[in-house]
A and B are shown apart, each in its own frame.
Chain A
Amino acid sequence: MTQQTENRGKANRKLMKRLLVVVAVMFGFGFALVPFYERICEVTGIRNLFQPDALAAQNTQVDTTRNISVEFDANTQRLSWTFKPLQASVSVRPGEVTQVVYEVRNTLGRSVTGQAVPSYSPQQAALYFRKMECFCFRQQTLAPGEVRRMPVVFVIDPKLPPELDTVTLSYTFFEVNGARGGGE
């Protein structure tokens, strides 16, 4: 009987170890969902913040019948940089390639890496706002006191709904702590 109890104790501990491995694997799985989820969003194109938008395959026609006012906005989040667009707004025609410039200055006494995330207002305009070049596609590292001028090249898709005549492009810069950060 004692022998049997001992054997059972051994079997129990063996099973416990296996179950603990399952627990550890599932804890890791929770974290593995993060890159997996990002990959899914990338592949399905749900979230491609950090890639240049492809121009429509067909020859882009400039829609000369209307003007869209594009306003620019700049913010920083818990980051002492001065960040501003060099022009408050531009008037463009849908289909017209336009370049604007943002300026950022690192006011801190240390080298800082930042990442800008774009957002659009109204929200539905995001579908029609194509950025071919943007400083937001990669992290920006600025030396102490460094000033950098960065271009954004964009096209408004002519399919933009006619009721929209003003679109705001807003960037928020935040500091990238450690290794994690969007994009690169």
Chain B
Amino acid sequence: MSAVIDSGHAHDEQAHGPYGGIMRWVTTTNHKDIGTLYLWFSFTMFLVGGVLALAIRAELFRPGLQFWHPEFFNQLTTMHGLIMVFGAIMPAFVGFANWQVPMMIGAPDMAFARLNNWSFWMLPVAATLLVGSFFVPGGATAAGWTIYAPLSTQMGPGMDLAIFALHIMGASSIMGSINIITTILNMRAPGMTLIRMPLFVWTWLITAYLLIAVMPVLAGAITMLLTDRHFGTSFFNAAGGGDPVMFQHIFWFFGHPEVYIMILPGFGIISQVIPAFSRKPLFGYSSMVYATASIAVLSFIVWAHHMFTVGMPTAGILFFMYATVLIAVPTGVKVFNWLTTMWRGSMSFETPMLFAVGFIFVFTMGGFTGLILAIMPIDIQLQDTYYVVAHFHYVLVAGSLFSLFAGFYFWVPKWTGRMYDEKLGKWHFWLSMIFFNVTFFPMHFLGLAGMPRRIPDYALQFAGFNEIASIGAFGFGLSQILFLWIALKVTVLGQGERAGQRPWDGADTLEWTHLPSPAPYHSFHEQPVLG
């Protein structure tokens, strides 16, 4: 009865604890250890990406060129995007999946424990390639995180490093997804039917399917880029009979589902937190599942709304516009279900709930600006302006990141057996919430006034709002140092009062009802049977 399901050895890991020292982390096949690694890795990358963001905001504090050459500024925006998307948000959600999915479905570990180790340890390699590309001749890739051809077929070796890094991160994501799907489909406790799974598990199941469907398409696109750059193919080279616009089609065929990959697990976390702190079951559980699945399916047929300005036939534009607007329906179902869950609930507002309610508020604003951008005639005005920057930071920072914070505060008592510092947590929420809006709300006005994105300098009339946005960005960045301190306190330093098995009385999934806090290194060897 080994915890490592596909282990050929007969060693019994239950008899002894993990290895000591660094080798524990290098060799670990334990889902909790690997979850911790993913979370620390993603937080590190979040800080790296955040420093790049502050470098961008410092330059944009005043018009004119202050600190960086325009070429380096382009590297900053590109790398900020790539690092935040592939290094911070995605691995963070995989970290949550590692920690929570086995505990929430009553499984002893992930289905492929050694594959799990491997999929994590590929990430630091990829991150090194990506961050290291700043130091090669010509610097890092500066083609934007969307690495559009033909710009990306012309850049220096930094682009090649980025392509390799993306390949590795993609492979890691695919392996992680295969693991998560197999765990969810094959390892559930007896009696836990699919339609009884916690919503976080459901959203991850759907996300993992999205990942294995679209990460290979990205791999294909960047492989074509690589062969165009070095092996004489002409997929995207117009002079060679290729078409640069085709890169955009293939990229966004990956890119739009990717957007939902970054938000659906967040929806899952929020769907656990809201009922727990409303002390009511989630309103409309099955409609939540169907809404998540509809969003995932629709995400495959809306990609061209990112490229309304490339010159498409009107019929195509109308199709993509209507399909995009249709996504508002399942998303609306979710938002209304969360609101209805809170309705007449016995609510309390500890930090996880603050982040969850804050998430609904700001994410919905991001959703609305998304609807506005989906309308083609408006989009043509706003394409590549700061309005778009404001929109996707409202859904990715206030959406994905705030849901990650909510999930951290919610589950950290189960992970460490200690309560985080509630007072500091509340400070973290309010500072993040206020500075987030100070940073990104003015960007709507900048975009409407016509300020283009990805430029180091701007016309004088944009100075005021840029100044406000930069002040907000530094405030937001410093607030995350507070989060680092809160996280260190409760995890590494082991401070904080002891948490009981079920510190949130409204939380009723298996990790709260069946496992002590902290959750033992090996849990659910004997799977619980659900009546």
Show the binding face of A for B, using Cβ within 8 Å.
1-2, 5, 8-9, 11-13, 15-16, 19-20, 22-24, 26-31, 33-34, 37-38, 41, 44, 46-47, 77, 115, 117, 172, 174, 176-178, 180-183
- A174-B212 in contact given A16-B178, A27-B220 (Cβ < 8 Å): no
- A181-B241 in contact given A19-B182, A30-B250 (Cβ < 8 Å): yes
Partner of B214, one of A13, A24, A26, A177: A26
Instruction: Please provide the chain B residues from 203 to 222 with a CB less than 8 Å away from any CB of chain A in the complex.
Output: 212-221
Taking CB atoms, residues of chain B closer than 8 Å to A180 are 233-234, 240-241
**Which residue of chain B lies nearest to A183 when distances are taken between CB atoms in the complex?**
B241
Show the binding face of B for A, using Cβ within 8 Å.
1-2, 5-6, 111-112, 174, 177-178, 181-182, 185-187, 212-221, 224, 232-235, 238-243, 246, 249-250, 253-254, 311, 313
**Which residue of chain A lies nearest to B249 when distances are taken between CB atoms in the complex?**
A37
CA distance A177 to B254 in the complex (A): 28
The 7 A-B residue pairs with the shortest CB-CB distance in the complex, in nearest-first order = A30-B220, A182-B241, A27-B216, A177-B232, A26-B216, A30-B217, A12-B111
> What are 6 of the A-B contact pairs (CB < 8 Å)?
A5-B5, A11-B186, A30-B218, A34-B224, A38-B243, A117-B239
CA distance A174 to B6 in the complex (A): 54
CA distance A166 to B241 in the complex (A): 27
Interface contact A24-B216, CB-CB below 8 Å = yes
CA distance A115 to B186 in the complex (A): 54
Interface contact B187-A26, CB-CB below 8 Å = no
Taking CB atoms, residues of chain B closer than 8 Å to A178 are 232-233
Taking CB atoms, residues of chain B closer than 8 Å to A12 are 5-6, 111-112, 182, 186-187
CA distance A82 to B246 in the complex (A): 31
Taking CB atoms, residues of chain A closer than 8 Å to B213 are 22, 26
Taking CB atoms, residues of chain A closer than 8 Å to B249 are 33, 37
**Which residue of chain A lies nearest to B213 when distances are taken between CB atoms in the complex?**
A26
Taking CB atoms, residues of chain A closer than 8 Å to B243 are 37-38, 41, 47
CA distance A158 to B231 in the complex (A): 44
Taking CB atoms, residues of chain B closer than 8 Å to A117 are 238-239, 241
Taking CB atoms, residues of chain A closer than 8 Å to B253 are 30, 33
- A122 to chain B minimum Cβ distance, whole angstroms, is 15
CA distance A181 to B304 in the complex (A): 26
**Which residue of chain A lies nearest to B107 when distances are taken between CB atoms in the complex?**
A8
- A9-B6 in contact given A15-B182, A174-B240, A181-B241 (Cβ < 8 Å): yes
**Which residue of chain A lies nearest to B526 when distances are taken between CB atoms in the complex?**
A1
**Which residue of chain A lies nearest to B8 when distances are taken between CB atoms in the complex?**
A9
Interface contact B181-A19, CB-CB below 8 Å = yes
- A47 to chain B minimum Cβ distance, whole angstroms, is 7
- A94 to chain B minimum Cβ distance, whole angstroms, is 25
Interface contact B238-A27, CB-CB below 8 Å = no
Interface contact B1-A2, CB-CB below 8 Å = yes
Most chain B beta carbons < 10 A, residue from A13, A16, A29, A182: A16
Taking CB atoms, residues of chain A closer than 8 Å to B242 are 182
- A34-B241 in contact given A24-B216, A26-B214, A27-B220 (Cβ < 8 Å): no
Interface contact B5-A8, CB-CB below 8 Å = yes
**Which residue of chain A lies nearest to B217 when distances are taken between CB atoms in the complex?**
A30
Taking CB atoms, residues of chain B closer than 8 Å to A41 are 243
Taking CB atoms, residues of chain B closer than 8 Å to A2 are 1
CA distance A24 to B213 in the complex (A): 9
Partner of A15, one of B6, B185, B238, B240: B185
CA distance A63 to B217 in the complex (A): 51
Taking CB atoms, residues of chain A closer than 8 Å to B6 are 9, 12-13
